[in-house]
Amino acid sequence: TIAHMGTSDAHDPAAAPAREDIKVSRPAEGVLLLTIDRPAVRNALRTRTLAEIAAELAAATDDPSTRAVVVTGGAEHFAAGADIREMALLGAVDVLMHERARHWRAIAAFPKPIVAAVCGYALGGGCELALACDLIVAGTNAQFGQPEVNLGMIPGAGGATRLARTCGKALAMQMVLTGMPIDARTALAAGIAVEVDEPESALARAVELASIIASKPPVAVRLAKEAVRRALDIPLSDAVEADRQAFALLAASDDRREGIAAFLEKRPARFTGH
Ligand code: CO8
């Protein structure tokens, strides 16, 4: 079970901003946990929900005590999409200019690793949120789907692109053209999820993976995340060249020297983040 060790600002809880749609906690050292908490609407992502997630990530970017983030919706639903009631009111120009786009960009650009614990429905924007994370631990009850076509829409927050790049054409086409969800086992086989666990233990496992990441030297973690992201983003030769440069850059870090020295001296490494 996950111990909740306080709010996002552990030193001064009074300074933590009020969050309505998400719960913020620290289940393990270096790990920030964001739990979407709108059970009455199956965790549908209204603008406020995305804004709160983006604001927590913005604060976490410069907070050295956050080394990895876990995003979840609990053991029953991850998120059943954009809030359809809210989105129904928007016309084309409203959608184009909407602040939601800014929040989605902030989530995608967050430099530290994000692990998603996905149980139950991850539909529409909920599936896109999971795909925007770096690792997905799925509960056996997880359902990933892009049902936008049923509403006369397409995935608007990168879902089609990320699915095509993550699991290839066949499954991406099936999901965006039919709107049919896939189960956890299919998501695992397709490379969408890294692991499948019982719904009650998926979050604990995600926190465990985040803790492992949080124990690694943070500069190397940051450049490693960028390297994998780049692989999905730009042409292969450019991506490999950028990896080579990041690899060389790390030769200047104290943590690399310490990591190598600790290995050779057969002792645990003491990383400083420099
Ligand atoms: N938005 C708002 N409310 C929702 C949403 C949602 N995405 N999903 C569920 N709810 C609400 C229901 O309206 C219902 O409210 P109420 O109790 O007041 O009637 C409550 O949650 C419970 O829902 P159900 O009774 O339907 O619960 P079930 O357990 O039977 O079913 C499902 C759960 C399968 C998740 C079902 O609710 C469903 O199909 N939801 C919609 C899923 C969907 O289509 N998601 C994609 C949305 S579109 C999107 O994300 C892309 C962005 C859209 C941008 C639009 C721009 C104009």
What are the pLDDT digits (tens) for 49-99?
A: 999 999 999 999 999 999 999 999 999 999 999 999 998 888 889 888 899
Under a CB-based contact definition with an 8 Å cutoff, are residues 145 and 153 in contact?
A: no
Q: Is 125 a catalytic residue?
A: yes
Evaluate: CB of 95 within 6 angstroms of ligand 1: yes
Residue labelled with tokens 């631990």:
137
Given the residues 44, 60, 79, 82, the one annotated as active site:
82
Could you tell me the distance, in angstroms and rounded to a whole number, from the CA of residue 44 to the centre of ligand 1? 7
Is pLDDT at 254 greater than 90 in this prediction? yes
Nearest by Cα to 62 from 222, 185, 215: 222
Residue with CA closest to ligand 1 atom 27: 42
Could you tell me the distance, in angstroms and rounded to a whole number, from the CA of residue 81 to the centre of ligand 1? 7
Residue labelled with tokens 């749609």:
21
The pLDDT tens digits for 122-161 are 999 999 999 999 999 999 999 999 999 998 889 989 999 9
User: Which residues 6+ apart lie within 8 Å of 120 measured at CB?
Assistant: 42, 73, 75, 76, 77, 78, 139, 141, 142, 143, 199
Is pLDDT at 246 greater than 80 in this prediction? yes
Evaluate: CB of 148 within 6 angstroms of ligand 1: yes
Evaluate: CB of 124 within 6 angstroms of ligand 1: yes
Is pLDDT at 261 greater than 80 in this prediction? yes
Residue with CA closest to ligand 1 atom 2: 83
Q: Is 82 a catalytic residue?
A: yes
Evaluate: CB of 123 within 6 angstroms of ligand 1: yes
Is pLDDT at 14 greater than 80 in this prediction? no
Top pLDDT among 43 and 232 is at: 43
CA 21 to chain centre: 17
pLDDT of residue 13: 55
Could you tell me the distance, in angstroms and rounded to a whole number, from the CA of residue 189 to the centre of ligand 1? 27
Under a CB-based contact definition with an 8 Å cutoff, are residues 44 and 81 in contact?
A: yes
Q: What's the rounded mean pLDDT across residues 245-261? A: 92
Evaluate: CB of 151 within 6 angstroms of ligand 1: yes
Top pLDDT among 4 and 238 is at: 238
Confidence of residue 113 (pLDDT cuts 50, 70, 90): very high
Evaluate: CB of 42 within 6 angstroms of ligand 1: yes
User: Which residues 6+ apart lie within 8 Å of 250 measured at CB?
Assistant: 219, 220, 223, 256
Q: Is 101 a catalytic residue?
A: no
Exposure b/e, 39-69, CB count within 10 A at least 16 = b:
eebbbbbbbbbbbbbbbbbebbeeeeebbbb
pLDDT of residue 236: 84
21: its two tokens: 């749609």
84: its two tokens: 């359809």
Could you tell me the distance, in angstroms and rounded to a whole number, from the CA of residue 56 to the centre of ligand 1? 25
The average confidence (pLDDT) of the chain is 93
pTM to 2 decimals? 0.91
